[in-house]
Amino acid sequence: MDLNIITENWLFLYYVEICMTSFGDAFAAAWALIAGFDGELADIVLLSLKVSLSAVVLATAIGLPLGAAIAVERFPGRQVLIVILNALMGLPPVVVGLLVYLLLSRAGPLGTLGILFTPQAMVIAQAVLITPIIAALSRQTIEDAWREYDEQLRSLGARRLSAAMTLIWDTRFSLLTIVLAGFGRAAAEVGAVMIVGGNIDGVTRVMTTAIALETSKGDLPLALGLGIVLIGLVMLLNALAAVIREMAQRKYG
Amino acid sequence: MILGPNGAGKSVLMRLCHGLLTPVAGRIVWHGARNGDVRRHQAMVFQRPVMLRRSALENVIYGLKLAGKSREECRLRALDVLEVVGLAQHAYRPARVMSGGEQQRLALARAWALGPDVLFLDEPTANLDPSATQDIERIINAIHASGTKIIMTTHNLGQARRLGDEILFMSKGRLMEQTPVDRFFGEPVSSEAAAFIKGEMPWD
């Protein structure tokens, strides 16, 4: 009886040691890829950054004016629009991917553009995904500021548009952290870019889709390396947002 | 000087006159008014100063720029006005980190810089300590001396006596009395006014 328990424990520990060793090897290999600026890894990271950056620029160009307009204007159906915008923040990325796929596929309305399975399609899909986030959050931020500044700005003679611009500039730091959040959301999603991009090697393979592929192949080093870079990126964005908030509060009040 | 219990409609009256609220019925007529945008020759300072996230100087310039003055004109006028209210050395500090009293002085400076015919003040010293209140009262007197008509509300009856020329007493949304300040406190005409004065100064 005692001997069995000892043997089982020993076998279990042996098994754990083997796992840890191969795990440890994979980790070591991953770090080697990162430290050595491995070509494949670098290309994938660069493409991820380019796609998500372009998407967030596009989303901000559309979402920020939209959020500002809804914040300062009053029109019938405004409350409904706000609720819809907030709900759209929770759009599942893979569903966005599906919708954009339908739009861009050969049988679809924009099929003649032929941009399916290219980085452009991925930019569009991610932009569709984060525009509601930027619009809804900037609407909230600007509307809160509007409530505080409204009477004073009108008293000073500011017209609607001029007041909206003043508000956007005055809330610039909060808006910047919203843009960072949008970028983080885009960089971390896999569903949309997988469907409209197709994860084609060297063309539309980004960090998230590469991690999914490599892991399913059982090829851990590249997956782990990309995972570490991705986590690092997300943490960097958050740290940046915190620093911005802190600096703005101290300097401008 | 508009006086009255809470909910009497003092703030609403001022906002209606200034054009921040639109009347549901009736009209607001200013004697000798230039037609069109009356608000251009009026200014208002609220109970809580509302400052933009920029320097004190830039806040004053903001109001002047909206009035269409040139950049250089704005700067000079703003510096002048800051000098008078005693904030010249804080001109380049971010407005929002200043104390409540300083921000309220800045709000007055911003309003004064526009050279308004009428200045509305909604309980300007309600949130300030006595020394800051004194500073504000001094500035209000200076603005009045420079020719601006001041219309203000306050809950501080001492302040009303110090600064007021004419008392407009309101109760439950109606104007009850319009009396010179000395007569108002001595012999108020309406019973509501008597009760109000007694309530606010029970030791009298």
Chain B residues with CB inside 8 Å of A155's CB? 18, 20, 39, 43-44
A157 contacts B40? CB cut-off 8 A: yes
Is residue A112 within 8 Å of A123, Cβ to Cβ?
A: no
**CA-to-CA distance for A125 and A181, rounded, in angstroms?**
17
pLDDT surpasses 70 at A119: yes
Q: Mention every residue, 6+ apart, whose C-beta is less than 8 A from residue A58.
A: A123, A124, A127, A131
Burial of B29: CB neighbours in 10 Å, binned 0-12, 13-18, 19+? exposed
Q: How far apart are CA B90 and CA B113, in angstroms?
A: 17
The predicted structure's pLDDT at residue A15: 73
List, edge to edge, every strand of the sheet that includes B166-171: B42-45, B118-122, B149-153, B2-3, B166-171, B174-180
Distance CA A47, CA A50 (A): 5
Inter-axis angle of helices B130-145 and B71-85, nearest 10: 130
pLDDT of B203 higher than 60: no
Of A152, A154, A251, the CB nearest to B94: A251
Q: Indicate the residue of B63, B94, B97 with minimum beta-carbon distance to A156.
A: B63
Q: Which residues of B touch A175 (CB under 8 A)?
A: none
**CA distance to partner chain B, nearest, from residue A142 (Å):** 13
pLDDT band at B7 (very low <50, low <70, confident <90, very high): confident
Distance of CA B146 to the CA centre of its chain: 15
Q: Determine the residue among B50, B98, B121 to mutate to test chain A binding: the one whose Cβ has the most chain A Cβ atoms within 10 Å.
A: B50
Residue B120 phi/psi, 5-degree rounding, is: -95, 135
Helix (H) or strand (E) holding A217: helix A207-217
- B6-B10-B15 Cα angle (round to 5): 135
- Kindly report, residue by residue over B124-162, the tens digit of the pLDDT: 999 999 999 999 999 999 999 999 999 999 988 899 999
What are the b/e assignments for B48-81, b being 16+ CB within 10 Å?
bbbbbbbbbbbbbbbbbbbbebeeeebbebbeeb
The one-letter amino acid code at B19 reads: G
Residue of A nearest to B18 (CA): A155
pLDDT score for B204: 42
pLDDT for res B40 = 79
Whether B39 sits inside 8 A of A149 (CB atoms) is no
Cβ–Cβ gap B50/A152 under 8 Å: yes
B100 burial level (CB within 10 Å; 0-12, 13-18, 19+): middle
Please answer yes or no on whether A156 and B62 come within 8 Å at the CB atom.
yes
| A149-196 per-position pLDDT tens digit | 999 999 999 988 899 999 999 999 999 999 999 999 999 999 999 999
CA atoms within 13 A of residue B85's CA, in its CB half-sphere = 30
pTM exceeding 0.80: yes
| Separation CA A182–CA A56 (nearest Å) | 6
**Chain A residues within 8 A of B64 when measuring between CB atoms:** none
Instruction: Using alpha carbons only, give the angle A106, A107, A112 rounded to the nearest 5 degrees.
Output: 45
Chain B residues close to A165, C-beta within 8 Å: none
Contact partners, residue A53, CB within 8 Å, separation at least 6: A183
Q: Taking the mean position of all CA atoms in its chain, how far away is CA B47? A: 9
ipTM of model:
0.89
User: Touching check for B44 and chain A: CB below 8 Å?
Assistant: yes
Best of A141, A156, A166, A251 to substitute, by most chain B Cβ atoms within 10 angstroms, is A156
As given in the structure block, the two tokens for residue A218 are 């059982």
Instruction: Classify B180 in phi/psi space as left (phi over 0), alpha (psi -120 to 50) or beta.
Output: beta
CA–CA dist A66, A134 (Å, integer):
9
Phi/psi of residue B175, nearest 5 degrees = -85, 115
Tell me the one-letter amino acid at B116: P
Asked if B194 is an interface residue toward chain A (Cβ–Cβ < 8 A), one would say no
pLDDT band for position B201 (cuts 50, 70, 90)? low
Measured CA to CA, the distance from residue B204 to residue B194 in angstroms comes to 11
Residues B92-126: tens digit of each pLDDT: 999 999 999 999 999 999 999 999 999 999 999 99
pLDDT at B191: 84
Chain B residue with Cα closest to A170: B53
Count the alpha carbons within 13 Å of B93 in the hemisphere toward its beta carbon. Answer: 14
Instruction: Give the residue from chain A lying closest to B47, CA to CA.
Output: A152
Q: Which residues of B touch A172 (CB under 8 A)?
A: 53
